[in-house]
Amino acid sequence: MMNGIILRREQSVGKQPAEVKTAKRDWYWIVANYGKSNVRKSSWQIVNTLSSYGLLWVLMILTVQWEYSYWITLALAGVAGGILVRVFILFHDCCHGSFFASRRANAILGYLTGILTFTPFEDWRRKHNRHHATAGDLDRRGVGDIWTMTTEEYLAAPLKKRLAYRLYRNPVILLGPGSVLLFLFLNRFPSKGAGKRERASVVYTNLALLVIVGIASWTIGLQAYFLIQLPVILIAGCLGLWLFYVQHQFEDAYWIRHDSWDPLRVALEGSSYLKLPKILQWFTGNIGLHHIHHVRPSIPNYHLQPCHDAIPDFHAVEAITLKKSFRSLRLALYDAEKRKLVGFRSLSDLELGK
List Cβ neighbours of 215 (8 Å cut-off, separation of 6 or more): none
CB atoms within 10 A of CB 305: 16
Across 94-98, 131-135, 259-263, the highest mean pLDDT is recorded for: 94-98
Q: For residue 174, which amino acid is it?
A: L
Compute the average pLDDT of residues 221-241: 97
**Would you state the pLDDT for residue 22?**
54
pLDDT score of 17: 44
Please tell me whether the overall predicted TM-score, pTM, comes out greater than 0.75 for this model: yes
Query: Comparing C-alpha atoms, which of 243, 242, 245, 256 is closest to residue 340?
Result: 256
Q: Which amino acid is at 147?
A: W
Q: Where are the domains of the chain?
A: 37-268+323-352
Mean pLDDT of 207-230: 97
Question: Model confidence over 20-61: pLDDT tens digits?
Answer: 455 566 788 889 899 999 999 999 999 999 999 999 999 999
- Of 118, 268, 91, the residue nearest 182 (C-alpha): 118
d(CA 44, CA 39): 8
Helix axes 70-95 and 121-134, enclosed angle (nearest 10): 70
On whether the CB atoms of residues 293 and 49 are closer than 8 A, the answer is no
Please name every residue paired with 149 in a beta bridge, in sequence order, or none if there are none: 333
Q: Are 99 and 109 in contact (CB under 8 A)?
A: yes
Using alpha carbons, list the distances in angstroms from residue 348 to 70, 305, 339: 44, 42, 18
Instruction: State the pLDDT at residue 143.
Output: 84
The rounded Cα 349 to chain-centroid distance in angstroms is 33
Beta bridge partners of 274: 320
* Predicted pLDDT of residue 350: 53
Q: What letter represents residue 72's amino acid?
A: I
3-state secondary structure of 341: strand
Q: Which pLDDT band holds residue 16 (cuts at 50, 70, 90)? A: very low
How far is residue 6's CA from residue 223's CA, in Å, rounded to a whole number?
55
pLDDT tens-digit map of 280-337: 999 999 999 999 999 999 999 999 999 999 998 888 888 998 888 888 999 999 998 8
| Interval 157-208: pLDDT, tens | 999 999 999 999 999 999 999 999 999 999 999 999 999 999 999 999 999 9
Instruction: Supply the pLDDT for residue 349.
Output: 52
Residue 6 pLDDT grade (very low, low, confident, very high; cuts 50, 70, 90): very low
Name every residue whose Cβ is closer than 8 Å to that of residue 163 and which is 6 or more positions away in sequence.
Answer: none
User: H helices within the chain, ranges in order?
Assistant: 26-31, 39-65, 70-95, 103-116, 121-134, 151-156, 159-169, 171-175, 177-180, 196-219, 222-248, 263-269, 278-283, 290-295, 304-310, 322-327, 348-352
Over residues 67-93, the pLDDT tens digits come to: 999 999 999 999 999 999 999 999 999
Tell me the pairing of strands 319-320 and 333-335.
Answer: unpaired
d(CA 193, CA 210): 25
